[in-house]
Amino acid sequence: MYKNSFPQGFKDGFLWGGATAANQLEGGWNLDHKGLTTAEVVERATDRKNFTFDKVTKESLEKALHDPSDTHYPKRRGVDFYHHYQEDIKLMAEMGFKAFRLSIAWARIFPNGDETTPNEEGLAFYDRVFDELAKYNIEPVVTLSHYEMPLGLTLKQNGWASRETITDFLRYTDVVFKRYAHKVKYWLTFNEINASTFGFMGTGALDSDLAPQAQLQLRYQALHHQFIASALAVQQGHKINSNFKIGSMLARMQTYPATSKPEDVRAAQESDDSNLFFTDVQVRGEYPEFMNRFFAENGITIAMEPGDEDILQAGKVDYLSFSYYMSTVTSQKNAGDKSVGNMVFGEKNPYLETSEWGWQIDPVGLRITLNTLWDRYRVPLFIVENGLGATDKLTADGQVHDQYRIDYLKKHIEQMKEAVKDGVDLMGYTMWGPIDLISASTSEMSKRYGFIYVDQDDEGHGSLRRIKKDSFDWYKKVIASNGEDL
């Protein structure tokens, strides 16, 4: 629409804050009748750049089930938010947070996943957390499933590989939507929905024994079940409270062509489409045509029930949220090498620096991504993860001087502002891990993102003391000025 003006900065009420996930943050994995989750059987990586969650096999699961330790399985201990939530929320309030993204651990509410009555102690914990946030006018943004589900559903029906899991999920969402109907307005269904094609941590399904084609078949079918569950949850939530805003969540990776050779440009387009397919379904309410070709050429058949297409249409999300850490490069020779979530890095971009973990840092890519997503979908966008994982060191003065983190965030926020000026409708920004927590990909403690340092090492030793880093006061200033003072 033509106007003789354009936005000069972030809108009033912009949701500044931070984002976390239950299994990386909470600890208290076996307290108050909580069940074991899929995330809590994932071992720590032996090599820093290895991803832990694709390694779950029948044998490793068997071992994990009988091992009560949280040394091998750091997501069982998190950073003990379960007992520190008041202190942690107070620190977030001191920075001026307007929003705090967290996830509910499904297995706190339904320990095995298939019970008919929820676990009151689990529900009461999140009541305490939401009430604490309300004290400081911090808006919760709640992910319903962040890389985890009750392990009972894996053991019983192989997680999302089974259509039954849709019913179990909707029983859980019905309970939490009703219980927190007046405490939570912003919801997300599945964290990084595109990670489902990566395997266990997305699908909760064991599939490492399968041949590659059968594995693909299982993952896309599991994903279909999640799409249906998400679309039904959107409808269910809106019935419970028409003010709810329920969004999708994508691990967004901007893909560049390695050269201007048309074949490379096409490879990048194809890679980008394979990233956007997931939000095509959740925002537009239908599978895009290019996936028909992909499914046919890969021998994948999605078993749909009558009515599934209508469910997808009727369950379109209210907004699109995404994580953004880096961009990637592809070319004709790597055309089949698709990025899945944050997991495949493609080729080296000579113009970009990388993090210690090889993630290619690209603030301008965030502006490109915001414009791409806005142009494709025309729904409000919400950046619900962004940040720099680094090995922060406590110096002799007991401080953490993390100027590198300030630089990273500052450059990304500058580009966000450019996108807002371009006309993108951006709701908020919750950077990843405002308080140090366990890494999703490596299960390390020493990959840190926070403004608040947590005294704990990879083996779980430490006082758990919270220490403000230099970036703490910087972010406070950013929020106080609504992103003007960077």
Please identify every residue annotated as catalytic: 385
Given the complex with ligand BGP, which of 21 and 138 has the nearer CB atom? 21
Return the range that interacts with ligand BGP (CB under 6 A); candidates 225-233, 270-278, 420-428, 432-440: 432-440
Min dist CB 450 to ligand BGP, Å, is 11
Provide, rounded to whole angstroms, the least separation between the CB of residue 249 and ligand BGP. Answer: 8
d(CA 411, CA 405): 10
Residues 168 and 275: their CA atoms lie apart, in Å, by 28
Contact 458, 391 (CB under 8 A): no
Name the residue nearer to ligand BGP (CB basis): 101 or 108: 101
Neighbours of 355 (CB within 10 A): 17
Single out the residue of 207, 385, 392, 436 in contact with ligand BGP (rule: CB under 6 A): 385
Interacting positions 191-230 with ligand BGP (CB under 6 A): 191-192
Residue 11 CB, shortest distance to ligand BGP, in Å, is 25
Positions in 103-132 near ligand BGP (CB under 6 A): none
Q: Which of 158, 330, 439, 446 binds ligand BGP (CB under 6 A)?
A: 439
The one among 237, 389, 434, 450 contacting ligand BGP by CB under 6 A: 389
Q: Which of residues 322-381 bind ligand BGP (CB under 6 A)?
A: 323, 341-342
Q: Per-residue contact track with ligand BGP, 444 to 483, x per CB under 6 A?
A: ---x------------------------------------
To ligand BGP, the closest distance from the beta carbon of 199 in angstroms equals: 14
Q: Which is nearer to ligand BGP, 249 or 281 (CB)?
A: 249
Window of 80-88, 107-115, 276-284, 437-445 that interacts with ligand BGP by CB under 6 A: 437-445
Minimum distance of ligand BGP from residue 393's CB (angstroms): 18
Whether 325 and 412 have beta carbons less than 8 Å apart is answered as no
Q: Of 121-129, 201-209, 260-268, 433-441, which segment contacts ligand BGP by CB under 6 A? A: 433-441
Give the residue with the Cβ less far from ligand BGP, 259 or 391.
391
Shortest Cβ 259–ligand BGP spacing (Å): 29
Chosen residue from 312, 413, 431, 440 binding ligand BGP by CB under 6 A: 440
Only segment of 163-171, 439-447, 453-461, 467-475 that touches ligand BGP (CB under 6 A)? 439-447
Report in angstroms the alpha-carbon separations of 472 from 25, 39, 84, 190.
19, 29, 18, 29
* Least CB distance to ligand BGP at residue 331 (A): 25
Is position 79 an interface residue for ligand BGP (rule: CB under 6 A)?
A: no
Give 328 or 342: the residue with its C-beta nearer to ligand BGP: 342
Tell me if 432 contacts ligand BGP by CB under 6 A.
yes
C-alpha triplet 35, 40, 46: angle, nearest 5°: 165
Q: How many residues bind ligand BGP (CB under 6 A)?
A: 15
The Cα–Cα gap between 336 and 331 comes to 10
Residue from 226, 254, 274, 441 touching ligand BGP (CB under 6 A): that is 441
Give me the residues that bind ligand BGP (CB under 6 A), please. Answer: 21, 24, 191-192, 251, 323, 341-342, 385, 389, 432, 439-441, 447
